[in-house]
Amino acid sequence: MKKVSLSIVAALLAAVMTLSMTVFAAEPAAVKTVQEGSLNIATNAEFPPYEYKEGDGFAGIDIEIAGAIAEQLGLELVVNDVEFGSIIGGVQSGKYDIGIAGMTKTEERLQSVNFSETYATAVQVIIVKEDSEIQSVDDLEGHKIGVQQDTTGDIYCCDDFGDDMVTEYRNGAEAVQALIAGKVDCVVIDNEPAKSYVAAAQGLKILDTEYVTEEYAICIAKENEDLLAAINGVIAQLQESGALQEIVDKYITAEEAE
Amino acid sequence: MAEWFHSIADAFNRCFIEDNRWKWMLEGLGNTMIITIFALLIGIVLGIIIAAVRSTYDMNGASMKKKGGLSYVLLRIGNFICNLFLTVIRGTPVVVQLMIMYFVILVNVTNGVLVAVIAFGINSGAYVAEIFRSGIMSIDEGQIEAGRSLGFNYIQTMIFIIIPQAVKVVLPTLFNELIVLIKETSVAGYVGVMDLTKAGDKIRGRTFEAFVPLIAVAVVYLIIVIILTRILRIIEKRLRKGERR
């Protein structure tokens, strides 16, 4: 009896979900945005392969996901390149509709904005010089760590090893430059950009052990719950159709093959 | 209104009290002051040397050219180097100079504050040099003539007669340079130095409050500048005691 009722509930749930998805697909531009007819996104385009500058425009996983969301909602995509630390403030104050910048959902950030469902999983890794004495996460203690300011890597490292051991740079590339110059002993940063940096620079490697695992999500102003629901709908749709994986593969697999 | 105050108080609590974040502000303020003071000291030393070379060339270059000799050649080379230095330092943004210092020149120095002190000191030196030179040049030529006729040589005349008068003339401008310098150090965060601005940014990045940290940082800078302006006024007043105006 119990089993039957459960399966009915499940079936009902599935029906509701499909229904809600069709509603979103059928009614584009039903959500309110900062600028009518366009989806203003805030990002920090120094974080390959999630977002980076390419030619005159922007490219990356997040940019393409945002593009897919805008397309589904019948909006035009407008990319705003801002400091990472200013993204949530800008979304909160209604400057931008969403922030999509390889951003991890944290308790503190949730106090200011809403987060969508997770669209990608990332790990924080440690970049060191090839001849470094740092072999694993356990060796980090007592070493100078370079990070990108305001990222989760920054916050975790400050909490774990103390502010004095952590030097915060404006973007990941600068942190890696500082590592190469010997200003810091290692850089803690997200896995995907780390791969790009290590591929581009000489004499660096990523440690096998991960520092932390975290999930990326899109941030949306607390007031705009319609947009949150719409974006969650689109993410679910993209996940189901495999389009999301295609976008991720396009950037990440291509890079590993190099 | 009451609600607004409440939200500000709440934000203030989150920005400074929680997790002892005010310590960052204190550390940032300390670094800002250290960078400013030591950079100004370097700037003054560098500035005096450059101003001495440049004003000597300006005042005596023509007469020395007639006599010729090694001292003239040295002075000319010195003047050329100083001019080149001034052109490069004043012609490029201080942020760029700071980054070049950190990532290119002083690669082996891991202390960011030290790099910032050197970069801002060199930058400030260029401006202080021109301030001192204009002060020296503003003193009437009759003062040099008077000194020389009293039996002082050129250097003695400079040290005992011209420079004391020049310092009085340039003091307000020099203080102005100090005020500019304090605010310029706000870009030290570019090389990972935790100065006052960066401390505010860090709080902003952690709490996602923009209003409270930014206004707090602005107020701290303002207070420092107001205090310095007061001190300048007192010094000016005392220097003017012997004047008939």
Contact A158, A164 (CB under 8 A): no
User: Could B103 and A109 be called an inter-chain contact, meaning their C-beta atoms sit closer than 8 Å?
Assistant: no
> Closest residue of B to A182, CA-based?
B108
Residue pLDDT, tens place only, B192-204: 899 999 999 988 8
Interface A:B, Cβ pairs < 8 A: 58
Closest chain B C-alpha to A102 CA, distance in angstroms: 15
pLDDT value of position B188: 94
Complex ipTM, two decimals?
A: 0.75
Architecture of the domain whose range is B36-188: Orthogonal Bundle (1.10)
Say if residue A257's pLDDT is above 50. no
**Spatial distance between the Cα atoms of A169 and B188, rounded to a whole number of angstroms:** 11
Question: Confidence band (pLDDT; 50, 70, 90) for A185?
Answer: very high
The answer, for A108 touching chain B at a CB cutoff of 8 Å, is yes
pTM of the model: 0.72
Radius of gyration of chain A from its Cα atoms, rounded to whole angstroms: 20
What's the whole-number average pLDDT of chain A?
Answer: 85
Say if residue B243's pLDDT is above 80. no
Of B27, B205, B209, the CB nearest to A149: B205
pLDDT value of position B220: 96
pLDDT value of position A241: 92
Probe site for chain A from B206, B208, B211, B217 (most A CB atoms < 10 A)? B208
pLDDT value of position A55: 85
- Lookup: tokens for A37: 């007819």
**Which structural domains are found in chain A, ordered by start?**
2-119+217-257 (3.40.190.10), 123-214 (3.40.190.10)
User: Could A178 and B103 be called an inter-chain contact, meaning their C-beta atoms sit closer than 8 Å?
Assistant: yes
> Closest residue of A to B210, CA-based?
A89
pLDDT value of position A107: 86
Half-sphere exposure of A22 (CA within 13 A, CB side): 6
Residue pLDDT, tens place only, B11-69: 888 888 887 889 999 999 999 999 999 999 999 999 999 999 999 898 888 888 888 78
Probe site for chain B from A82, A183, A184, A186 (most B CB atoms < 10 A)? A183
- Ordered by start, the domain boundaries in chain B are 36-188
The closest of B80, B81, B121, B82 to B101, measured between CA atoms, is B121
Please state, as a whole number, how many other Cβ atoms lie within 10 Å of the Cβ of residue B159: 12
Q: Could you report how far apart the first and last alpha carbons of chain A are, in Å?
A: 56
The answer, for A150 touching chain B at a CB cutoff of 8 Å, is yes
Residue pLDDT, tens place only, A106-142: 888 998 999 999 998 878 999 999 999 998 888 898 9
Residue pLDDT, tens place only, A4-26: 565 666 665 565 555 555 444 44
User: Could B208 and A113 be called an inter-chain contact, meaning their C-beta atoms sit closer than 8 Å?
Assistant: yes
By three-state DSSP, how is residue A128 classified?
strand
